[in-house]
Structures are given as structure tokens and as C-alpha cells.
Structure 1
Amino acid sequence: MKPPRRPSSRHEPDGPGVPTRRAALKLLDAVLRRGLALEQALDSAAQGLAPNDRGLAHAIAAEVLRRLPDLDALIDSATKQQLPDDAKARFALRIALVQALALGTPGHAAISTVLPLVDGGPRKLVHGVFGTLVRQGVTLPEPPTLPDAVALRWHAAWGDQMIEDAERAIAVPPPLDLTLRDAQVAPDLPGKSLLPGHLRLDEKGPVVMLEGFAEGDWWVQDLAASLPARLIGKDTGTALDLCAAPGGKTLQLAAAGWQVTAVDVSESRLARLHENLERTGLSAEVITADLLVWKPRAQADAVLLDAPCSATGIFRRHPDVLHRVRPSLIREMAELQGKLLFRAAEWVKPGGILVFSTCSLEPEEGEAQLAAFLKARSDYAIAPIRAEELPHGVMPRADGSLRLLPGTLADVGGLDGFFIARLTRNP
């Protein structure tokens, strides 16, 4: 395989397909070297790209992150000296290999579009390693391998089966779940309902083109993420949705009849909630504020705290968490969750409901938080979650809380990882 001729000038415009791979390289650098979230880095990395190219850059980077240990193992098998983890040549090879071995890109296109990324660097090395591996007929293992640090941490918490389930979960694109504004009005779309007011689609397409979107009949929300608000139930009382963005739980509470106040520190993330409130015709008071400073005007009948966390439970959709979440971040998030949970507890009326949830697979951000809270607050008790409130096949824990792991409902598309506890405040 003969490498393309090098550009005569470093300022020569990129050829077809190269800007997209350059954006993918920037995304990977942002996640792996700077510790940014993939979505957080997308606008800057893909600046100037057409929507389709932007989507492809994201898809390439995400697939690299799903298969990073296996890609690096292949690269290391074909080099005499191991490339540094942050070497541009390693990044370029990751991008070329994942296209050829996982995304169906022809080999010549996969390599020709990444060689310009290492101009002024080891182009011959990149071309040679790629060619060697292709000639050997290498493949990527199925399912993908979890990063060692993640596998060790999760194994200590949950055991062998969880690791196997997590590896299978990351290999399959997650389903698209819809939460219906009115459980009695389902769109005419192919799919299955796992709970009243829910639809899991059989096929994906542009969301805005699906039946019922423009009419506000539904919004996209993973089934696991919909459970905390479901467990509050229907009412006409007052409810606080804390850490509300992007707003799916606010919409659920409003649709269930609650008078909702939604609070989040991020004004930009609340923009989607404003858009969805307008689209669905639902209403809520939306406040941009720091919950460590803000206080409500009065106590509420129900408070939902979907607390900030490491987000390791959504690794299927956001594989960057497998690589950028460190124990230090988990500790930091756990400390913040504790502060927020104790503040939120003061805002519940006697006899009211407090639901605490995190989209994390770390016990420090779930079970440990609940135990510490109940030890300190004798005025609260668990209101046990019942099996009939959950999708068929999902069972609450013995103490009445709920832990969702990667193997939960795997036979019908799985669920994101979550911890949820429902509490009542003694009158």
C-alpha cells in the first residue's frame, strides 16, 4: 500500500474526509488528554463541519473510546517500541483502525484520511503499522474490553457477571426511548412499551422527523432516567426538580399534574427544557441557580434530586466516561451529592416525598449516600419501591431502593445504570 504524496505546504487545504478525521482527533485529545466530556468538546472540535461530517467525527471518536484497550493492544503488537499513550501516531492509528475494523470504511480510505494528521511526524510508521495489521487480517474482539481501571473498580463492587454484562452493553448501540406526554396517546411508531407512557423504538431516525415530535406528544428519555419521576406519582401538589437540566423529569412531573419548579445551575443546559416546555405545552417555573446557595420560597410536597455524579451509568451512550472518570472525581461528586441531599431534605414538607437518584455505577454515589443520610436523618425513612412500579423483570433491592446494572433487561435493549431511593419525611 503506497502512502499518499505529502502536501507541499503545511498550509495546503485538507483533502476530502480529512477535516472530519482531524475533528475526531481533537475530540479524542480533549477526552483522553484534557479530561473533557465528549459532548462538551464537540462544538469546538467540529467547528465549521457540515452536520453529516460533524456526526461522523463524533461517531469515529465514540467508537475509538468504546474499543480503546483493544485498539491499543493491536497497535502495540505491531510496533517494536511502544508508542506513548498521547503520541499523535497512536491517535491516528486508533482512528484508522476503528474505521477499517469496526465502521466498515475501506482500508485505503481509512489510512489516506489520517496520514495528513501526522504531517511532520512518523507518517511511514503509521502507514506501516496499519498495513501490517490489515495484511494480518486482524479483528477486534467482541465484546469490547473494558479499561483495566474500570474493570477492577466495578469488579470489586459488583463481581464477574457485571463486567461481562458491561462489555456486552457497550458493544451494542443503546435503544431510543420515548416518554409520552399522555400515556393514552401513543404515536404510530414501531416499538415496544415496557411501562405505561413509554415506547422503545425498533428503528432509529432523525428524532425531529418522527411522528408526534412537532406536536409535543413525547420527548426522548432513557427508560431508567424516567423512573425517578415515575416513582413520585401523580398529584396536583408542589414539586421541586433539582439539578433539572436537560429537563425530562420536569416534563414528567408537569404531565403528571404537579406544580413544578425546576432548578439547575446551567443556563445553557436549561435551554432544551425551555424548548421542550414550549413544544409540549407543559408548564413549569424554571430557575437558574446554584443549589448550594439557593433556597425555595416554601417547602414542597415532593422533591426530586437527580444529583450531579460521575455519570458512569450512561457509558453506553457516553463512552468517554470510561476513560476520564477517576476515583478523585467520584469522591468529589460524592461529597457534592451529600451536601445537596441534606439541603434538599430541608425543602420537603412533613409527610412529603424525597427521591434521590444518580446515573452512576459507583456505590459511593448511591448506596453509601443513602446509608449516610438515613444515619443522620431520623426524620426520614425509605418508602420502598414496589416491583409493580417497575418494568417487568426489574426488582427493587431488599431495603426498598433500586440499583440498575448493565445486565438489567439486556434481552430487550438494556437500561442505563442508576441508583434510586424514595424517602418519606415523617409528619
Structure 2
Amino acid sequence: MKPPRPQSEVGVNARRAALRLLDGVLRRGLPLEAALESAGRDLAPADRGLAHAIAAETLRRLADLDALIDSATQQRLPADAKARFALRIALVQALALGTPGHAAISTVLPLVDGGPRRLVHGVFGALMRRKVALPSPPTLPRSVEERWLANWGRDVVDAARSAMAAPPPLDLSFADDEQARRSEGRHLAPKHARIEAQSRITDLPGFTEGHWWVQDLAASIPARLLGTGDGRQVLDLCAAPGGKTLQLAAAGWQVTAVDSSSPRLERLRENLGRTKLTADVVEADVMAWTPEQPADAILLDAPCSATGIFRRHPDVLHRVKARQIAEMAELQRAMLERAATWLKPGGTLVYATCSLEPEEGEAHLPHIQGLTLNPVAADELPNGIVPHPQGYVRTLPSTLQDKGATDGFFIARFKRA
């Protein structure tokens, strides 16, 4: 049996993994969860969780951390300098995560062994002596703030900043409305409950029994707009990890769930097993696959920039740029055109993206051929969410802000003649 590692080594390893996570997101443009697969592979679960928490909080507060670092250096450190990464990790622990200062700095200095240890130690010490603090709410990256300010206005930008300041609530979607009504929390829609954020979701009542699954309230709207299935056929395109598949199956649809990601489809299958719901699961690229017969309905939750889910995935604020948004918009338009041909006459298609970029939502409407917008009524939506006057749904960081807010989504429903 190997002797246990010294506690100091365990702490350093978690910080070293956090540095690799940040490097993966900020320098290589990887999603945080994808970077975690390699950076945290050899860590114990507790250390893996700590590395993720440090990296995520750093990304939420990156602009403010860098402003502090720049205020204490005579020459600006390069954005990709290891000393800057080490200082970000030390400062976010001391100023946001409650780590004592001596522990915050002692566990990051080994990250710059053979490098500017004195610089990192000196800058950190100088800032601590100044008794600096991080602003609340956090500051958005400049390019994001400018883009959202132009598209949505100051109120939405301020709401987005507030949304980053605290963990979002936990929304549960239920297969049965009676189970939902008996559950604790705030009920903002049928088959829904909103509770405070939890660290161990698997410990919540009803998880093992498969009564519910985690799904942001806004993310539950697309499937709601298809109503009950009564045994009809629906294609759930880009379906994984499966929240909408579960909704549709629980609403009586015969679901074919299509996605190209094997790991994400495995999660979908696990959730189907836990909830005892059924769907035909197909691993395929929507742009290469063709259904055997036309469908009564289609739900296309298209690949997108995912900037609408920044509350839980702050990496999108830093790795998504104008080029990626344009590329995603082009792919979405192609998917819409392809999927529209798979509908039966009179069939319904719901298109959705978890994006706050109009290019991935509103901008598509004038270009959709063969489909007619089927306006959404207010009574089809969760309490407090209203459709746009043109008939589609747009949720923003300011949506339901007094009730815990929602993710940012664009949702439109169409009919085929």
C-alpha cells in the first residue's frame, strides 16, 4: 500500500489542476467541462471538485482579478503568463472562496517553481496589505458587456452581472405533476419545482426513484410548447443530455432522440433508466442522418454558443467570440432547413438555442422557408414569462430576476403547411 500523500502535496495538485483548467479554457478555447476530463483525471473526487470550483470562480471574476493584478505590477504581465495564472488562483481563493491568505499563496508558489516566485509572492502580499476586495457584482468581460449592451441594454447587462454573483437556484422537472406539487420549493410551472442550489443532487428526495431531473426552467419551455403527444412521433434533435427527451416521453410522445456525442448519450440513457421513461436513442450527426419516415413534431435544440448558460458555465464568457457565433448561426440555419423537410404536413417544429446572441435566434426568422411561425400564448409559459409580441419566446438574465432568474434562451414554434 502506498503511503498517503502529504496534505500540502494534495493542495498543490488541486491548484495545479485548476491552472491546467484555466489554460485549457483561456488559451486553447476548451469548454471547462471538457478541460476537466484531462486536467482532473488523476485527482481524488474532493480535489477534482476543488480544482473545478477554483477555475469556475476565477472565470466568473477574471476581469476584476486581472484589474487587481495590473494595479500592483509595474509592467503588465502577459495574459498567458504563468505568474498571472498563479496570482489569479491565489487571489480568487483569498478574496472569494474564503481560503486563508497564507494557504492561498503557499499552494500556488510551487506552480511557478523555476520561475517568478518572488514576483508572485510580492504582488500577492502587496494586494493583501492593501486589503483589496473584489467588486460585487462581478464585472463582465469588456467584449461581452459591449455586445450585450448593444443588443439588450443596460438593465440586462446589470442583471447578467448579478446572476454571476451567486449560485443559481436548482430547477427540477417532474415526470408527474402530482409529484411536483408535493415537492418542496417554488412552483413556477406545471411539473416544476425551484429549490436552493444543492451540492449533492443525488441526496435529494425522489432522485433514486426517478421522479425528476435537473433542468433550468427556460430549458423546459421548448418541450412544453409541443404539448401532449398521445402516442405521436417526435424527433428530439441534438437531444443529449436528455432533459427534453424525458419531458417529451413523460408527455406521451414516441421519442426518437438523436445526438452525435456518445458520452452525452450515455447520460441520456442513464436518465431514461432512472426515470423509467422510454425513447429510441440514435447516435448520429443530424446533418448526415435521415429519419425513416416524417414526424408529427420536431424539437431542434440546436448547437450554439451557449452564452445563455453563463451562470453555470462561466467559461463561455471568455472563449466564445464573434467568429464562433457566426459559425454556429450558419450551422443552425442549415439544420433548420434540413429538419423542416422531415415534418408531416401540419406538423410542428420547435427551434431553440441557449444563446443570448440574436444571430442565433431572432435573426433566423426572416430566412426560414416552408414553415410558418406558430405564435406562443402566455398561458403556455411558466408564470412570469411572456412571449414576444411577434410570437416567439426570449428569456434574458433579467427574466424572473426576483425569483432567481433563468438561463438565456430563444425559442420559436413553427407549423408546416
In which range does the TM-score fall when normalised by the shorter chain?
A: over 0.9
Q: 2:345 aligns with which of 345, 350, 362?
A: 350
The equivalent residue for 1:387 is 378
Range moving further from structure 2, 86-95 or 148-157? 148-157
What is the Cα-based RMSD across aligned positions, in Å? 1.3
Question: What's the offset of the Cα at 1:16?
Answer: 3.7
Cα distance between partner residues in 2 of 1:154 and 1:388: 29
The answer to whether the 8 A contact 1:192-1:202 is kept is no
Correspondences of 1:199-348 after superposition (within 5 Å): 199-202=193-196, 204-235=198-229, 236-348=231-343
The answer to whether the 8 A contact 1:177-1:221 is kept is yes
The equivalent residue for 1:371 is 366
Q: 2:69 aligns with which of 68, 75, 89?
A: 75
Tell me the SS of whatever aligns to 1:185. Answer: helix
The answer to whether the 8 A contact 2:373-2:414 is kept is yes
The answer to whether the 8 A contact 1:315-1:321 is kept is yes
Residue 22 of structure 2 is aligned to residue 28 of structure 1: yes
CA shift digits 1:108-141 (9 cap, x unpaired): 0000000000000100110010010001010000
Partner amino acid, structure 2, of 1:95: I
Q: 2:12 aligns with which of 14, 18, 21?
A: 18
Tell me the SS of whatever aligns to 1:257. Answer: coil
CA shift digits 1:381-421 (9 cap, x unpaired): 11111111112221111110011110100111110000000
Cα distance between partner residues in 1 of 2:411 and 2:391: 10
The answer to whether the 8 A contact 2:91-2:104 is kept is yes
The answer to whether the 8 A contact 2:397-2:408 is kept is yes
Question: What's the offset of the Cα at 1:167?
Answer: 0.7
Cα distance between partner residues in 2 of 1:310 and 1:391: 25
Cα distance between partner residues in 1 of 2:185 and 2:42: 36
Q: 2:103 aligns with which of 106, 109, 114?
A: 109
The answer to whether the 8 A contact 2:10-2:47 is kept is no
Cα distance between partner residues in 2 of 1:234 and 1:71: 49
CA shift digits 1:153-181 (9 cap, x unpaired): 11111111111111111112111111001
The answer to whether the 8 A contact 1:195-1:391 is kept is yes
The answer to whether the 8 A contact 1:307-1:356 is kept is yes
TM-score, normalising length from structure 1?
Answer: 0.94
The answer to whether the 8 A contact 2:181-2:191 is kept is no
Q: Report % sequence identity.
A: 65
The answer to whether the 8 A contact 1:190-1:202 is kept is no
Tell me the SS of whatever aligns to 2:300. Answer: strand
Cα distance between partner residues in 2 of 1:332 and 1:168: 29
Tell me the SS of whatever aligns to 2:16. Answer: helix
User: Which runs of 5 or more residues in structure 2 are unaligned?
Assistant: 1-5
Tell me the SS of whatever aligns to 1:260. Answer: strand
Cα distance between partner residues in 1 of 2:44 and 2:188: 37
Correspondences of 1:34-49 after superposition (within 5 Å): 34-49=28-43
Tell me the SS of whatever aligns to 2:177. Answer: coil
Question: What's the offset of the Cα at 1:187?
Answer: 7.9
CA shift digits 1:207-252 (9 cap, x unpaired): 1111111111111111111110011000221000000010110110
The equivalent residue for 2:3 is none
Tell me the SS of whatever aligns to 2:53. Answer: helix
Q: 2:187 aligns with which of 184, 193, 205?
A: 193
Cα distance between partner residues in 2 of 1:114 and 1:83: 17
The answer to whether the 8 A contact 1:182-1:255 is kept is yes
Cα distance between partner residues in 2 of 1:383 and 1:13: 60
Cα distance between partner residues in 2 of 1:205 and 1:196: 25
The equivalent residue for 1:419 is 410
The answer to whether the 8 A contact 2:8-2:107 is kept is no
Cα distance between partner residues in 2 of 1:424 and 1:98: 50
Cα distance between partner residues in 1 of 2:286 and 2:37: 28
Cα distance between partner residues in 2 of 1:13 and 1:404: 45
Which 4+ residue blocks in structure 1 deviate beyond 6 angstroms? none
Q: 1:173 aligns with which of 162, 167, 176?
A: 167
The answer to whether the 8 A contact 1:311-1:321 is kept is yes
Range moving further from structure 2, 225-234 or 199-208? 199-208
The answer to whether the 8 A contact 1:188-1:211 is kept is no
